[in-house]
Amino acid sequence: MLKIRLTRTGKKNRAQFRVVVAQNTAPVKGRFIEVLGSIDPHSDIVTLKAERIKYWLGQGAQSTPRVHNLLIDNKIVEGEKMTTWKPKRKEKTEEDVKAVKSENAEEPVKADK
């Protein structure tokens, strides 16, 4: 399966990224098939090859969520943005805390010898 993803380039503390198409099994900094653009987050410069991106998407390549959102921002593809973060855990309510305390209170306390 082909993926359109970001690969990091640049110096330490001065990151730049390339948008590449690569096999999903290839290492992130490893082999890629074609460079489709570049991103400089420090100066907000984004250059993308729209025709080639559309070609690879037509060939069945899938973009990562971050690249998908980047393509939507630059109006290369249409659709809704994907979430790139995991939702937070459910916060414990007072009832949950009381239930845990009551379960712990029913268990006998073991003495260490």
- What CATH code is carried by the domain that includes residue 42? 3.30.1320.10
Count of other CB atoms within 10 angstroms of residue 84:
10
Per the CB < 8 A criterion, the answer to whether 63 and 3 are in contact is yes
For the chain, the domain total comes to 1
From edge to edge, which strands make up the β-sheet containing 14-23?
Answer: 45-48, 34-40, 14-23, 2-11, 62-63
Percent of the chain with pLDDT over 90: 66
Per the CB < 8 A criterion, the answer to whether 100 and 72 are in contact is no
Q: Judge whether 87 lies within some domain.
A: no
Q: Judge whether 111 lies within some domain.
A: no
Q: Judge whether 25 lies within some domain.
A: yes
Q: Which residues contact 27 (CB under 8 A, 6 or more apart)?
A: none
Question: Which residue, 59, 69, 78, is CA-closest to 19?
Answer: 69
Q: Judge whether 65 lies within some domain.
A: yes
Q: Judge whether 95 lies within some domain.
A: no
Residues of the domain holding 64: 2-73
Q: Judge whether 100 lies within some domain.
A: no
pLDDT of 17 reads 96
What does pTM read for this prediction?
0.71
- Mean pLDDT in consecutive groups of 10 residues from the start of the chain, 113 residues: 94 95 91 95 94 95 94 92 76 73 64 60
Q: Judge whether 82 lies within some domain.
A: no
pLDDT of 105 reads 65
pLDDT of 106 reads 61
pLDDT of 94 reads 75
